[in-house]
Structure formats: structure tokens, C-alpha cells
Amino acid sequence: MPAIAAWVEVVIDHDTDLRVAEATDTADVREARAVLAAHAAATEERGRPTTESLAAARGVGAFAATTPARYGGLDADSRTMVDLFVELGAGCPSTSWLAAVSATAKSMFTDWMSAEAQDAFYADPHVSICGTARPAGHARTVAGGTRITGSWSYASGCLDSPWAMVGAAVIDDAPADRPYLVLLPTGQLTVERTWDGATGLRGTGSHTLVADDVFVPDAFLMTLPRDADGTPLPPTDARRMQVALHTVSPLLGAAKGALEVVEPLMRADRPVFGTPYRRRTDSPSARRTFADAAQLVRTAEHRTRAVADVLDTAERGGPVPPVEFAHARMQLMAAVQECRRAVEQLLDLHGSSAFAPGNPLGRFWRDLAVGTRHAAINPWVAADDYARVLSGDDA
């Protein structure tokens, strides 16, 4: 154990005495959102959340949402997490994205960690984690552990997360199709800055992690669950849905934030060029366009919360047939499209000044444009899966 303690010492260097707040305290969450909004431009410019933004998100439990209660976390249900990540996303999608990504990783992989790894990892209930399960590394067995080499792109939050989880396709001479996961301090990896200048979600710092023969103790090596033949089992429908839900929630927040940027503009005494209108609400067509955008966002929110309810039913042990999960995933795809259409209409109402540096509407649009292309919410893949389930094809 002394060797393990020395190995993880690099990550226990921040305040771990923060009390995990109740994420359902609406006033506190709105206050945190205001802090995130005030620092959103700086977060985008510096390519990572500001200290103030991270503290505000931590203060309402955003980074402890799926930390097990036995370690002082919220262990929150899906509806609570949607409400939290949407609200924070309306302030700063990048900061909310990092909290949601970390929540997903914790909920999916905690049960695969050894007790020793869990104790080290959850020394801070607000701990965040970066990395990717993509098996892009190679590991070899040595005395007391393994040494891993590889590179992993799109590691959102790697500039601020003390822990990373990365995948290895091969350990020694094991078949390449048998992936392994490794948990290790981010400080033992190199960050290759491949996300600088990204079009959207720039504040997530989704750079590439690089390992060059890094030692990892045995207790921090995870193997995926396997069937009797040793074949890795795919994630359950519920876990796949949770990844998609956590991906959509901050982006729905971006659409809500965009709506709130344009709403006061509609009533502002600001003449519309080339028309007799002194304000946008003087135009029946502008009023209709704004109403359509508002309805799209509201419908997307209803769809997303309904999917959270399906997941919470599954979490409580209720029966959720595969077709229901497939349908819920299609609901999330529809919500994503509604958010995109809504923001496009809001841009039409606002005008080209939305693309000026520092304009929050332009930032929401950029974040949505990038985030809604995430692989977890690929619309044509979801449609293929839905069609297969409906047709009874188990392939």
C-alpha cells in the first residue's frame, strides 16, 4: 500500500473538504449558472473552465452527481442530472459538458474498479475524470503491474481532471479484440494540445493524452465484463442511453441559453433595418419565429426528461424492453435536431452581430454545432439500431 499511496499522491493536491451540495437546490444551481455565464467567454478563450466556473459547478455537486453515496457523493438519478446539466449548460456548455462526461465515466466504470482503486479515486467526492475507453494503447506486464503506451484523443477535461481512464487493445500477447481499461493519474501522462482553436466546445480542452511506457499498479487495471467464452460484453442498453443523455443535456442547456439571449432583444427598442418596425415584436412574422423557436426548445426539454424517466425506471429495476430503449434514443436524436433548428431561427432573429467575438448567442451556436456531432448521438446510427429492433433483427 505505501507504493500505491506514493503513486497516487500527485492527484491529492486540492481541497477535498467541500461539502457536496444538494443538486436539487434550484436557487443555488441558478446562482452557479450565473457564475458560469459570466466566465463563459473566458472559458472559451483559455480553452478550459476558469477557476470560478469549476468552483461553482463543484459547489452544486455537478462533479459529484454519480459519485457513490458511500464516498460522500449525490448518487443522483437521471432526472436530477438532466436538470442540473441543462441549467449549467445554459450558462456555459463547456463546463457543463465536462461535469456530464465525468458523471458518465463514473457511473459506467466504478463497478469495474478494485476497492483499492475506488478508495484512491474517490478521496475527493467531487473528483473529475477524463480520457476515453477507445482501446488505442498497448500494455505489457511487469512486476506489480503493467506499463502502458499509446495516445487517446478527445480527452475532455484533461487539463483539470486529476484522473484519466484510457483503453488498451492488447496486453502482452492477448488477442487485440480483448480491450482493457487503465485508471491512472493524469499527471503521469503528456497532454498533446490538439483541441486549441476548435470551432465549438473550445472550453472543454478535449486534447490528446499520450503515455510512453507508464507504469500502472495491478489494482488500477480494469477488464471489461466477459461472457463464458471470454468475449467482452457490450454496455447495457441503459448505460448506452445514459451516455447519450449526458451528452444531450448540456447541449439542451445551450439552446435554452440562446433563447434567453434573444428574448429581451425581441422587446428592445431597436429599429429593424429596412423596415418601419421599432422593435422585433412589431413584426407578426418575427413573433411567430420566436414562438416556434421557443416551442422547439420546450419540446426538446420534454423529450429529454422523458428519456431520463425511462432510465430511472430501469435503474429501479423496472422492466424496460429493448424497443423502449431504442425509441428513447430516437427521442434524444429528435431533441438534438430541435435544438439545432431553434438556434438557427434565433440567429435569424438576432442577425449577423451574433457572430461577433464575445457574443453569447454565437458561442451557443458553435457549441451546439460541435457537440451535437458527438458519436454517442449519431442520428443515422440511432435510426439503424431502431429499425433493427423494430424488425426483430438481433444482429
Above 50 in pLDDT, residue 14? no
Q: What is the pLDDT of residue 232?
A: 66
The residue assigned the cell 443538486 is: 23
Q: What is the pLDDT of residue 54?
A: 97
More confident residue, 53 or 231: 53
In angstroms, the Cα distances linking 176 to 3, 173, 184 are 30, 8, 22
Q: Give residue-wise pLDDT tens across range 312-330.
A: 999 898 888 989 999 999 9
In this structure, of 5-19, 244-258, 267-281, the range with the lowest mean pLDDT score is: 5-19
In angstroms, the Cα distances linking 114 to 5, 119, 154, 224, 387 are 15, 9, 26, 13, 39
Highest mean pLDDT of the ranges 217-226, 267-276, 364-373? 364-373
Instruction: Give the model's confidence band at 60: pLDDT under 50 very low, under 70 low, under 90 confident, else very high.
Output: very high
Q: What is the pLDDT of residue 21?
A: 44
User: Would you kindly state where each structural domain of the chain is located, as residue ranges?
Assistant: 2-121, 130-223, 237-391
Amino acid at 278: R
DSSP codes of every residue in 321-343 = -HHHHHHHHHHHHHHHHHHHHHH
Above 50 in pLDDT, residue 233? yes
Q: What is the pLDDT of residue 394?
A: 62
Homologous superfamily of 237-391: Butyryl-CoA Dehydrogenase, subunit A, domain 3 (1.20.140.10)
Under CATH, what is the fold of the domain 2-121?
Answer: Butyryl-Coa Dehydrogenase, subunit A; domain 1 (1.10.540)
Name the CATH code of domain 130-223 (choices 2.60.120.580, 2.40.110.10, 3.40.50.620, 3.30.470.20).
Answer: 2.40.110.10
In this structure, of 49-53, 71-75, 191-195, 226-230, the range with the lowest mean pLDDT score is: 226-230
Above 80 in pLDDT, residue 171? no
Same fold, 130-223 and 237-391: no
